[in-house]
Amino acid sequence: MNVLITGGAGFVGSHVSDALIEEGHNVILLDNLSGTDSKKPTYLNARATLIVGDVRDKKLIAELVSKVDVVFHFAAKVGIAQSNYQIKEFVGNNCVGTAELLEAIVGVQKRPKLIVAASNTSYGEGLYACTKCNAEFHPAIRSQSDVNEHGMDPICPKCSSKAKPIPTKEDTPLDTNSIYALTKKFQEETALMIGRMYEFPVIALKFFNIFGPRQSLSNPYTGVSAIFTSRIKNDNPVVIYEDGKQTRDFIYIKDVVRACIMAMKESAINYEVINIGSGKPTTIYDLAKILYSILGKEERIEISNIYRKGDIRHCIADISKANLMLGWKPETDFELGIREMLEWAQKEKAEDRFEQAQNELRDKKLI
């Protein structure tokens, strides 16, 4: 098949490209290279065709869509906190770019299958259970006053008891907590709506916290595993917001790639939203300790106890739907994945820009 990957030179796109080429597909990568400092990454597969351009280029995207059977839409500007003060930039890249892609698909005679990279950030907080009330609930995003009054963890809205985070299902209402999350919600919902309307297949894979080789070590707004790795490589202490007990659902890139390829081949999941995560919580503090342990360096972990506006406390994937409808489940052990990521990272340049990013957040009064 002929496959187009928007954002194809990036972290996820390049790995999916490798897998598709290995299976014998023809792959076109569309990327403006903004995530790679305007340079063509050395890791790109030589058998992929790279088009340096923007998904918002109406003529270009229409031409490319007319040539392919499948589109993976990964093009997006990433950065949760950053998005809240670069609003136009994020809406332009993520919303306008998706709109141009959808118009191009609607405009061709043979419409390709579309697989959209959705995000767990569109849930906001995950689901919780109160044992005292024997009830599940989906809390609103915490405010500074909530944290001041009740502590870091959300409380039951009925009895004010501390609640336990539980796996978050795909039918959980979306409650965005940042401009980035809002744009990812737009991508997901708009693609599914237009797909149903014009009867071309669309699938939204809702990715949780992806980590692995090729994730930028010099972007302070990317995944926390890469940010921590960059700090450690530069002999700077790892700084943790809140108390370090907040959890994330880390999923290794190889497992994400398998999900993408399986979704491309499966026709029974059209118009579905499917969580792609590990289904297991890992605290941010434990992540830092594991990184230090594997790298063999003395721990320098600073717990700031600072709440960053819009941050979630817990959100863990319920992956039963992925297993049932796609036959997918994660296969890579978390620590093994971290070891593979660090083996790659040891050879890579890592420019630590964390303090610059933190100062920007202070200036914008987001921490």
pLDDT at 39: 83
pLDDT at 140: 92
Report the C-alpha gap between 29 and 32 in whole angstroms. 10
Q: Where are the alpha helices (DSSP H) in the chain?
A: 11-22, 58-65, 80-83, 87-90, 97-106, 144-150, 179-198, 224-233, 253-265, 284-295, 320-321, 334-345, 354-363
Report the C-alpha gap between 252 and 254 in whole angstroms. 6
- Average pLDDT score over the chain: 95
Q: What is the mean pLDDT of residues 116-136?
A: 96
**Beta-bridge partner residues of 128:** 137, 165
Task: Quick: pLDDT tens for 37-66.
Answer: 768 999 999 999 999 999 999 999 999 999
The pTM of the full predicted model, rounded to 2 decimals, is: 0.95
pLDDT at 177: 87
pLDDT at 296: 93
Q: Is the pLDDT of residue 90 over 70?
A: yes
pLDDT at 47: 97
Confidence of residue 238 (pLDDT cuts 50, 70, 90): very high
Task: Quick: pLDDT tens for 3-44.
Answer: 999 999 999 999 999 999 999 999 999 999 987 776 899 999
Q: Which of 86-100, 139-153, 277-291, 323-337 has the lowest mean pLDDT?
A: 139-153
**DSSP characters over 166-206:** EPBPTTSPP---SHHHHHHHHHHHHHHHHHHHHT--EEEEE
Residues 6+ apart with CB under 8 A from 122: 174, 176, 181, 182, 184, 185, 188, 206
* Token reading at 220: 């302070």
Between 349 and 316, the more confident residue is: 316
Report the C-alpha gap between 131 and 253 in whole angstroms. 35
Q: What is the mean pLDDT of residues 229-254?
A: 96
Confidence of residue 220 (pLDDT cuts 50, 70, 90): confident
pLDDT at 367: 82
In the chain, the domains with their CATH numbers are 2-126+168-304+312-363 (3.40.50.720), 127-167 (no CATH)
Between 336 and 366, the more confident residue is: 336
pLDDT at 38: 67
Task: Quick: pLDDT tens for 169-217.
Answer: 999 999 998 999 999 999 999 999 999 999 999 999 999 999 999 999 8
Q: What is the mean pLDDT of residues 280-305?
A: 96
Task: Quick: pLDDT tens for 305-330.
Answer: 999 988 999 999 999 999 999 999 99
pLDDT at 154: 94
* Token reading at 191: 């693609």
**DSSP characters over 103-169:** HHHHTSSSPPEEEEEEEGGGG-S-EEEETTTTEEE-PPPP-HHHHHHH-SS-B-TTT--B-EEEPBP
